[in-house]
Amino acid sequence: MFVSEIIYGNWLTHGEGVERDTAVACVHAALDAGVTTFDTADVYAQGAAEEVLGRALKGVRRESLEIATKVCLPTGPGRNDRGLSRKHIIESCHASLRRLGTDYVDLYQAHRFDDQTPLAETLIAFDDLVRAGKVHYLGVSEWRAEQIAEALRLAGELGLRSRIVSNQPQYNMLWRVIEPEVLPLCRREGIGQIVFQPLAQGVLTGKYLPGQPAPADSRAAATGRAPHFVSRVLGETLLRRIQDLKPIADDAGLSMARLAVAWTLNQPGVTSAIIGATRPEQVRDNAGAAGVTLDAEILKRIDDVLGDLIDLDPGKTGQMMNVKPEWQASRASAD
């Protein structure tokens, strides 16, 4: 299956951080920019994100889209409202299809690894959904290399028709924890990377300035859960260093946002970058990174600027991105 280089995602936006009309406008801006792939999850805004996306895509020819969603994280108070058991996978898939207003999803992803459920049970349940035509392809998100490898081995041993074809990790100029182990395994096995947070919660756009309050229209100043996630990457030293990326973006003829998204797309093994947005103009800017080639000199200059801020620790795979403690500093605007 082909997917667009830019994927539109709606974590922390649809159903909680963005008004419905604006969310629909962002989806339409993505379609106008050539985006055909849309990513969501059952846990985003406890199902509301899927509902908003489904309504925004209503009337668009279904076969022209690739819709991806996820299952695993808690969607209710019950003991079976989470995880990768057969019960939760099947029930969650049916609920996602209802909310999205579609008969099938193109990509169904295990949102995290579930060490409380036998992996064979998880893989067989996913395979049954593929056989039933409710899911076309399977993926995982934030799994470690050894977990992906074991799933591939077990799928072959069980004779399953379907196998993992994609991984959705956090990945950007700063957070490169998949490079030592996950990326090499996936490249050997033909598993594509559809990466999220290419802008590191917007920090790599350069809009957060050292020593200054967060912009009023930014995620760090928003209501809801977004400020919590942004605050993890707002170290003062980091913000100063990011400003040093601006001349590189200028020399490449790109905005800071396009430079950051293009960086991910220029990394070996990466298929697509997932962008989020609170305004249609952000969608248009980010989508402009598709097809951009960064030469070796630009890539080296980025590495030279970020230097010891780059995190390559594979043990952090699956953790939420956080700048190294020595670079962290409190910011009242993000509390």
Predicted local confidence at residue 198, as pLDDT:
97
| Residue 225, pLDDT score | 56
Q: Which of 301, 309, 310, 198 is nearest to 251 (CA)?
A: 301
Residue 79 Cα distances to 48, 73, 84, 102, 280, angstroms: 21, 12, 12, 27, 39
* Within-domain flag for 236: no
Rounded mean pLDDT, 66-70: 98
Q: What is the Cα 48 distance to its own chain's centre?
A: 18
Quick one: which of 177, 154, 117 has its CA closest to 313?
A: 177
pLDDT of residue 328: 47
Q: Work out the percent of the chain whose per-residue pLDDT is above 90.
A: 81
Place of tokens 């295990």: 110
Whether 244 maps to a domain, the answer reads no
334 part of a folded domain: no
pLDDT tens figures, 203-225 = 999 988 877 666 656 554 455 55
pLDDT at 114: 98
Using pLDDT thresholds of 50, 70 and 90, give the confidence band for residue 264. Answer: very high
> Is residue 333 assigned to a domain?
no
Considering only residues 18 and 165, tell me which one the structure prediction assigns the higher pLDDT. 165
Determine the pLDDT at residue 324. 54
Beta carbons within 10 angstroms of residue 94's beta carbon: 12
More confident residue, 69 or 330: 69
**Which of the residues 44, 108, 137, 171 is marked catalytic?**
44
**pLDDT exceeds cutoff 60 at 234:** yes
Query: Do residues 279 and 26 make contact, with C-beta atoms less than 8 angstroms apart?
Result: yes
- Name the residue with higher pLDDT: 254 or 225: 254
For the chain, how many residues are written? 335
237 DSSP 8-state letter:
H
Rounded to whole angstroms, how far apart are CA atoms 71 and 245?
37
How far is it, in rounded angstroms, from Cα 326 to Cα 335?
A: 19
The residue range of the domain holding 111 is: 6-208+255-293
Is there a contact between 83 and 114 (Cβ–Cβ < 8 Å)? yes
> Which CATH number characterizes residue 48's domain?
3.20.20.100
Average pLDDT over residues 258-278: 97
pLDDT over 60 at 329, yes or no: no
Number of domain units in the chain = 1
Q: Which of 3, 135, 12 is nearest to 71 (CA)?
A: 135
65 falls within a domain = yes
Contact 151, 119 (CB under 8 A): yes
> Would you say residue 87 lies in a domain?
yes
**pLDDT tier for residue 319 given thresholds of 50, 70 and 90:** confident
**pLDDT band, very low/low/confident/very high, at 15 (cuts 50, 70, 90):** confident
- pLDDT at res. 331: 37
CA 229-235-239 angle, to 5 degrees, is: 105
44 annotated active-site: yes
Cβ–Cβ < 8 Å for 287, 34: yes
Per the CB < 8 A criterion, the answer to whether 229 and 323 are in contact is no
Summarised one tens digit per residue, pLDDT across range 76-111 is: 999 999 999 999 999 999 999 999 999 999 999 999
Identify the band that residue 327 occupies on the pLDDT scale cut at 50, 70 and 90.
Answer: very low
Domain membership flag for residue 331? no
Distance CA 249, CA 257 (A): 9
Q: Is residue 220 part of a domain?
A: no
pLDDT on residue 28: 97
DSSP letter string, 21-82: HHHHHHHHHHHHTT--EEE--TTGGGGHHHHHHHHHTTTS-GGG-EEEEEE-S--SSSTTSS
Measured CA to CA, the distance from residue 292 to residue 295 in angstroms comes to 10
Give me 105's structure tokens: 């999803």
Distance CA 71, CA 278 (A): 24
pLDDT at 333: 36
pLDDT at 323 exceeding the cut of 50: yes
- pLDDT number for residue 230: 56
